[in-house]
Homo-oligomer: A and B are copies of this chain.
Amino acid sequence: MADTLTGRRRSVLQETRCQTCSLSSLCLPLALEVEDMDQFDAIIRRRAPLKKGEALFRQGSPFTSVFAVRSGSLKQVTTEGSGEDQLTNFYLPSELVGLDGIDEEHYPGTVVALETTTVCEIPFDRLDHLSESLPELRGQLYRSMSKELRDDRRMMRLLSRKTADQRLASFFTSLSERFRRRGYSPYSFRLSMSRADIGNYLGLAVETVSRILGRFQSQGLVAVSGREVNILDLPALTRLAEEEGAH
């Protein structure tokens, strides 16, 4: 009995070890040597999987940790004053959640699981302290934040210069690319988010999302059935996504 428990505990720990994690080539410790990775492993905390709809943290709660997505997906939503919610990000496995909370010491948005999702919790004070002695880790942290800045700029361009069609096309090509990098099919995947989420994220009404999905389908660009997506003509989608403005 005791043995079983120990065994089980060990296997749980095993699961959370970066060295055995399939995402290690994409995730924060990517640049670390084996011995350094052990140190990093020692500070991360396991969390019980989140069920669909559960919040990882809520807007305004004190910032303590950043999180790396292990499996599943999440969305970040911010509510401001009188206004409606704004969905500012989707997070996929290996991505870091919560970096925008460092500044004001609380999280600027609520992050919610879109499906059953597991994350690694990384207490920020310990991460910061460890980054003192591990330059590679520090560099990777800087790079992660810098990449997020860059992605944000891309999003601003999308929101201020692209038509609805181009936005949807960008959304699909970007998802496709992110799946590809993670070793999944870039052509066939399941959307974990609703049409409303997509619309909110892209600055479009739900109805517009639906209509354009229909149009894409009739143009032979994608085959969509509910949340199941098959990309039929990735080059055409990419072209569409990279055009700009209306003309």
Chain A residues close to B by CB (< 8 Å): 78, 80-84, 86, 88, 99-104, 108-109, 128, 131-132, 135, 138-139, 141-143, 145-150, 152-153, 155-157, 159-161, 202-203, 242-245
Contact = CB atoms under 8 A, between A and B. Distances in A.
A134 B102 CA distance: 18
Given A86-B161, A102-B143, A128-B142, 6 more contacts: A86-B156, A99-B146, A102-B142, A145-B146, A152-B155, A161-B203
B157 A155 contact: no
Most B CB atoms within 10 A — which of A131, A132, A146, A202?
Answer: A146
12 contacts: A80-B242, A82-B244, A83-B243, A101-B146, A102-B145, A102-B146, A104-B147, A108-B153, A145-B149, A149-B152, A155-B156, A161-B203
Contacts of A78: 153, 157
A195 to B, nearest CB: 16
Contacts of A102: 142-143, 145-146
A161 B81 CA distance: 13
Contacts of A103: 143, 146-147, 149-150
A193 to B, nearest CB: 16
Contact of A242 (B81, B138, B149): B81
Contacts of A142: 102, 128, 141, 145
Contacts of A101: 146
Nearest to A244: B83
A99 B149 contact: yes
A131 B138 CA distance: 9
B131 A82 contact: no
A160 B141 CA distance: 29
A148 B149 contact: yes
A135 B104 CA distance: 17
Nearest to A76: B153
B159 A203 contact: yes
